[in-house]
């Protein structure tokens, strides 16, 4: 496994190296002609592949075949040329901000999901005898009404802003499924959202690594927890930092039992996704949650795109646009609406 050293910018390489350094055990072969830098790159890559489930985390040297197979799986999920080689695009992708949940079961889950689509099995488990469960036993909720609690808040955002982002992120999923969510201010909750820095008793592999790298991670049902890196620059205006609404919506997907998606524009893609003009949920996101929990009931749960704007609709209508229809408000730019709410202390 050889790396094209000159093609990878130095800052990206060393950023990835420092993030994965605690996981690394340098593995070299006696007499190997590779340079010291290439050996370090190989070790960084293997540490990454171990962390995200492409290689088994065992304290031994991985042979060339194991590493090549792991790289091919990573490249497939990342929409890179599937070469099995540690080339520059592969190293750069490894340094891209992403979710901290592993990818090891993403391909099998996606294959089952597509198979069910072609077989016509789109009902959730329990509603159709032929349907195969999308998640493994114990990794879906067996109730439709779930509670959630915001444990703490990040710097740079007010509790009101965070609450709105969380509420709208949950609404994104209830909009397209039979699930319903309710916030509780204290006490037990099915899903808990919290911000931490560095090591936070989730194990060495789940320790946060500072700005960039792993932005957040979550646990599948029924643990019901989503953790976010306090060291990140969280934002809701789309200017600097990472959009908290998008990351929360992604991590909620994991708490519901969804694996990472290989679909490039899916919310459940493992890589950070900016909020743009396109729909927030892709067909693959919607299919995944509906295969677990069924479709939304009624006519009020059909919008799957810029729901953050729609969540502000009634509030904005009363405060600023009393003569406008909600549909007109929802067509506004998400950034503009949030800026107005923040500027005039609407939250």
User: Does 103 show up as a binding residue in the annotation?
Assistant: no
Residue 102: both structure tokens together? 């592993």
Known binding residue 229? Answer is: yes
Helix intervals (H) in the chain: 10-20, 36-51, 64-77, 88-94, 106-119, 159-174, 244-255, 283-293, 307-311, 313-319, 326-330, 334-343
Among candidate residues 196, 194, 195, 166, the one with its CA nearest the CA of residue 181:
166
Residue 227 annotated as part of some ligand binding site: yes
Separation of alpha carbons 248 and 167, rounded Å? 10
For the CA atoms of 28, 31, 32, 36, what is the dihedral angle to 10 degrees?
70
Is 1 assigned to a binding site?
Answer: no
Please check if 222 is assigned to a binding site: no
Task: Determine whether the annotation assigns residue 265 to a binding site.
Answer: no
190 known member of a binding site: yes
Task: Judge whether 248 and 193 are in contact, CB under 8 Å.
Answer: yes
210 among annotated binding-site residues: yes
Distance CA 326, CA 300 (A): 13
CA–CA separation, 41 vs 39, rounded Å? 5
CB-neighbour burial class of residue 326 (10 A; exposed 0-12, middle 13-18, buried 19+) = middle
Residues contacting 1, CB < 8 A, separation 6+ = 42, 45, 64, 67, 68, 71, 85, 86
What dihedral angle (degrees, nearest 10) is formed by the CA atoms of 116, 254, 269, 23?
-120
Token pair listed for 239: 């200017």
CB 289 within 8 A of CB 301: no
Candidates 164, 93, 83, 181; CA nearest to 337 is 164
Q: Establish whether 345 is an annotated binding residue.
A: no
Active site residue 41: no
Cβ count within 10 A of residue 336: 11
Residue 242 is assigned to a ligand binding site: no
Does 254 show up as a binding residue in the annotation? yes
- Residue 243 in contact with residue 236, Cβ under 8 Å? yes
145 annotated among ligand-binding-site residues: no
In the set 38, 50, 251, 259, the catalytic residue is 251
Which residues does the annotation place in the binding site for Ca(2+)?
A: 190, 209-210, 229, 232
Which residues does the annotation place in the binding site for Zn(2+)?
A: 99, 200, 202, 217, 227, 250, 254, 260, 268
Which residues does the annotation place in the binding site?
A: 99, 190, 200, 202, 209-210, 217, 227, 229, 232, 250, 254, 260, 268
Active-site positions? 251
């Amino acid at each position: 496994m050889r790396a094209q050293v000159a093609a990878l910018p130095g800052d990206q390489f060393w950023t990835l190296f420092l993030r994965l350094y605690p996981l690394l055990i340098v593995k070299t072969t006696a007499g190997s002609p590779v340079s010291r830098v290439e050996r370090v790159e190989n070790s960084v890559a293997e540490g990454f592949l171990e962390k995200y489930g492409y290689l088994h985390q065992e304290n031994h040297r991985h042979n060339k075949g194991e590493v090549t197979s792991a790289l091919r799986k990573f490249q497939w999920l990342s929409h890179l040329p599937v070469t099995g080689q540690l080339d520059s695009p592969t190293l750069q992708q490894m340094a891209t901000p992403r979710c901290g949940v592993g990818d090891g079961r993403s391909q099998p889950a996606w294959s089952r999901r597509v198979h069910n689509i072609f077989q016509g099995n789109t009902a959730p488990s329990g509603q159709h005898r032929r349907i195969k469960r999308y998640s493994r036993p114990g990794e879906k909720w067996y109730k439709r009404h779930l509670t959630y609690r915001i444990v703490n808040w990040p710097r740079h955002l007010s509790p009101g802003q965070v609450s709105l982002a969380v509420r709208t992120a949950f609404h994104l999923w209830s909009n397209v499924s039979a699930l319903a969510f309710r916030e509780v201010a204290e006490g037990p909750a099915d899903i808990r959202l919290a911000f931490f820095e560095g090591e936070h008793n989730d194990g060495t592999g789940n320790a946060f690594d500072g700005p960039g790298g792993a932005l957040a991670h979550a646990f599948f049902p029924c643990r019901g927890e989503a953790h976010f890196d306090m060291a990140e620059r969280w934002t809701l205006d789309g200017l600097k930092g990472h959009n908290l609404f998008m990351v929360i919506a992604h991590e909620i997907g994991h708490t519901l039992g969804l694996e990472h998606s290989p679909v490039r524009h899916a919310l459940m893609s493992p890589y950070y996704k900016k909020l743009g003009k396109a729909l927030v949920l892709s067909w693959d996101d919607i299919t995944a949650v509906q295969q677990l929990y069924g479709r939304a009931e009624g006519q009020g749960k059909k919008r799957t795109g810029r729901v953050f704007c729609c969540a502000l609709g009634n509030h904005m209508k009363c405060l600023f646009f009393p003569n406008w229809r909600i549909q007109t408000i929802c067509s506004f730019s998400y950034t503009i609406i949030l800026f107005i709410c923040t500027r005039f202390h609407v939250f």
